[in-house]
A and B are shown apart, each in its own frame.
Chain A
């Protein structure tokens, strides 16, 4: 973990917080409101479940990362905070440090979320090395195998060599 974000645990502030988020999609039939005035917060070590798929995704996506060029319109009165840091208005460089380290997202379609031309292991290694500058490639690889084992993928040491197009790719249990 980098020290890029001040940890607010002591202050008792929630780790992730979103205030009155409104998300609207421009469609052919005009603006469609997907989320209206949603507020929530999650403390470190806690889990929050949001009922309908889509709601949580978009909300967190915005809070997480000012998703790259969002295709939906979001209300900018929102003040998403991650670990005490106001997300909107952050520089691209600070945002990059935040992404994948202090806040991350698990995408729904694992096959489409991985690059088809790079080995699964290399993609995990890339993510680890981005936030662990001092780690060696070997350490990162070990972490990648551990991560695959952790989610119950059989023979992770073999799977890291695979592409998503390989016979057995990632997925729930493989």
Chain B
């Protein structure tokens, strides 16, 4: 198991290296000169200004040299000159300096991450527990009115684009009928109550829309498992039906749900663009989106992509470990 985790971590490092190299290279050699875009956005762009800016952003060097410098900063830190007299002492892990805000990317990341983390944890907890619970109950009473209503409503919710649901929820619940607190992000260290109030609506929207899909999926898994011979055995022993369902059946039915959840949760941790944008949460998703808009902020985009890739890889690893704990037939090695 230990050897397995080490091997997985090594391959994760390789994936992160390649991801960062590709993002860096593609943006660097993109169709539009990043220096030109920044130059244009600051009043009239003269050739001298453009040349200075190109130098300051390190765009005059070959891609691999620039990437090498960036990668060195990540491991050991480096000094960055953005033109003029200002030098940035960027200590490891240094992700460069934002071309737009001229602040260190790592510092911004640390500042933006709590919003994304809070949103992801609350939303995922809600949709996993609620979705699985409702799915299990629906499987137990399959064919009843409540079950059919659930299946139909999940289809309806899944067919409406998520951003529309989020936007309508925001308009109706905070603007038209302000029954829920205005959504925004307050650091939990400032005031846990404000933190909770500001995140309540985003959590509910993210949690409930995803819960419908999780309930449908876990319902399907449960229906299948309840038809297994070992469930009949558990009933024939004289076991209580709740124990049969929640101990015997759920244990087997939850495994595919865990796989899907691992992927979803990893993606959530990389930033949720729509949710953060609509609910005014200053997190990774919104940060990345703003960085992509012209003029493209390559250090920030690279950082957000890297963080997203990191969490997807990690959650996959965690899922595999949970797998081996849930199912004795799975041996990691």
Q: A residues touching B (Cβ–Cβ < 8 Å)?
A: 64-65, 67-68, 92, 96-101, 104-105, 107, 109, 112-118, 123, 126-127, 130-131, 163, 165
Contact = CB atoms under 8 A, between A and B. Distances in A.
Contacts of A107: 229, 232-233, 236
B175 interface: no
A67 B232 contact: yes
Given A163-B329, A165-B329, A115 B237 contact: no
B252 interface: yes
A100 B329 contact: no
A126 B237 CA distance: 8
Contact of A126 (B228, B232, B239, B326): B239
Contacts of A131: 238
A106 to B, nearest CB: 10
Contacts of B328: 116-117, 163, 165
B233 A114 contact: yes
Contact of B237 (A67, A100, A163): A100
A117 B235 contact: no
Contacts, number: 70
Contacts of B232: 67-68, 107, 113
Given A92-B241, A117-B252, A163-B329, A112 B236 contact: no
Given A116-B252, A117-B252, A96 B238 contact: yes
Contacts of A96: 238-240
A153 B252 CA distance: 27
A113 B326 CA distance: 19
**Interface core residue of B231, B232, B251 (most chain A CB under 10 Å):** B232
25 contacts: A67-B232, A68-B232, A92-B241, A99-B235, A99-B238, A100-B238, A101-B238, A104-B236, A107-B229, A107-B233, A113-B233, A115-B233, A116-B230, A116-B327, A116-B328, A117-B251, A117-B327, A117-B328, A118-B251, A123-B233, A127-B237, A130-B238, A163-B328, A163-B329, A165-B328
The B interface is mostly helix, strand or loop, or mixed, namely helix
B112 interface: no
Nearest to B252: A117
Contacts of A104: 236
Contact of A114 (B230, B251, B326, B329): B230
**Interface core residue of B233, B248, B326 (most chain A CB under 10 Å):** B233
Contacts of A68: 231-232, 235
Contacts of A127: 237-238
Given A115-B252, A117-B252, A130 B329 contact: no
Interface string B291-319: 00000000000000000000000000000
Given A114-B230, A116-B329, A118-B251, 8 more contacts: A68-B231, A68-B235, A100-B236, A100-B239, A112-B230, A116-B230, A116-B328, A127-B238
Contacts of B228: 112
Contact of A65 (B236, B248, B327): B236
Contacts of B248: 115, 118
A16 to B, nearest CB: 15
